[in-house]
Amino acid sequence: MLVRNWMQRNPIVIGSDTLVHEAKQIITDNNLHGLPVVDDGRLRGLITRAICLRAAHYVLRTQDADELNYFSTRVKVKDLMVRDPVTIQASDTMEHCLEVGIEHGIGQLPVMENGRVVGIISANEMFALAAHFLSAWEKRSGVTLAPLEVKPGLIGQIADIVEAAGAELQAIYPIGKPTDVNPRTHPLKRVVIRFHSDDTPRVAAALEQAGFAVIESVQAARPPETTDTIQH
């Protein structure tokens, strides 16, 4: 799961001498969130939709024709862009990319390889990643268990119970807190279970019988014949 395989390749880039209103046009036309700013092959900054909109807001608020004129004919990308932006390497893992994004509270990361911009990770790519992980289009049913210590054997035990209850198990995701960084301490984690089944309550009941506390239960609408029980 490397950044290389998830990033948007060959992103549109612009030079720092471009006017901001041109940059904004490129961002809007291509439905982007940010543009890497590249001069002579070297990444110099990042200009985002939010930066452009904020600057435009400052200008419009003055209600001054000269200020507006200055903004649309003189302000360049180099005046507004964030310099020395946070980047990731194409060879980094997506986990690292997510960590960096959360640490800095940013949504656009230029992807570098040998000092050149080869891609970009933005909210679009993050949506794609999450959708793939949850197979959002597959419409799985699911059950979530209250926080547990995920020790060896637990996942297998859960898998056995779910499959014995007649479901086709697809995935089990233990979800911990960002503060629990040491897996050796077996921190408490909620366990999200995703499967195909027309009878989610039966799966939930089987899990509760085995001593697990069920905190969420979702029956997905499935395309096949039996579409009479829809729960959310």
Partner 1 sequence: MNTVLAAKPDEAATKIPLLSWFEECTKDSIPLVGGKCASLGELISSGARVPPGFALTTAGFAEFMRAAGIQAEIAGLLHGLDHDDLDRLEKSSAAIREMIESRPMSIELEDLIGEAYRKLSVRCCQASVPVAIRSSATAEDLPGASFAGQQDTYLWIRGFDDVIHHVRRCISSLYTARAIAYRLKMGFPHDQVAISVGVQKMANAYAAGVMFTLHPATGDRSVIVIDANFGFGESVVSGEVTPDHFVVNKVTLDILERTISTKLMCYTVDPRIQKSVATEVPFERQSIQCLIDDEITELAWMAKKIEKHYGRPMDIEWAIDKALPAGGNIYILQARPETIWSNRQPAATATATASAMDYIVSSLLAGKRLT
Residue ranges in contact with partner 1 by CB under 8 A: 20, 42, 44, 54-56, 58-59, 61, 64, 66-67, 69-71, 74-76, 78-84
The nearer residue to partner 1, 22 or 79, going by C-beta atoms, is 79
The nearer residue to partner 1, 58 or 127, going by C-beta atoms, is 58
The nearer residue to partner 1, 72 or 89, going by C-beta atoms, is 72
Minimum separation from the CB atom of position 92 to partner 1 (A):
22
The nearer residue to partner 1, 79 or 149, going by C-beta atoms, is 79
Long-range contacts of 146-154 (CB under 8 A, 24+ apart): 146/190, 146/212, 146/213, 146/214, 146/215, 147/188, 147/189, 147/190, 148/174, 148/188, 148/189, 148/190, 148/191, 148/212, 149/186, 149/187, 149/188, 149/189, 150/174, 150/186, 150/189, 150/191, 151/186, 154/191
Minimum separation from the CB atom of position 75 to partner 1 (A):
5
Minimum separation from the CB atom of position 224 to partner 1 (A):
55
Minimum separation from the CB atom of position 61 to partner 1 (A):
8
The nearer residue to partner 1, 16 or 144, going by C-beta atoms, is 16
Minimum separation from the CB atom of position 51 to partner 1 (A):
9
Residues 6+ apart with CB under 8 A from 115: 42
> CA–CA separation, 16 vs 39, rounded Å?
7
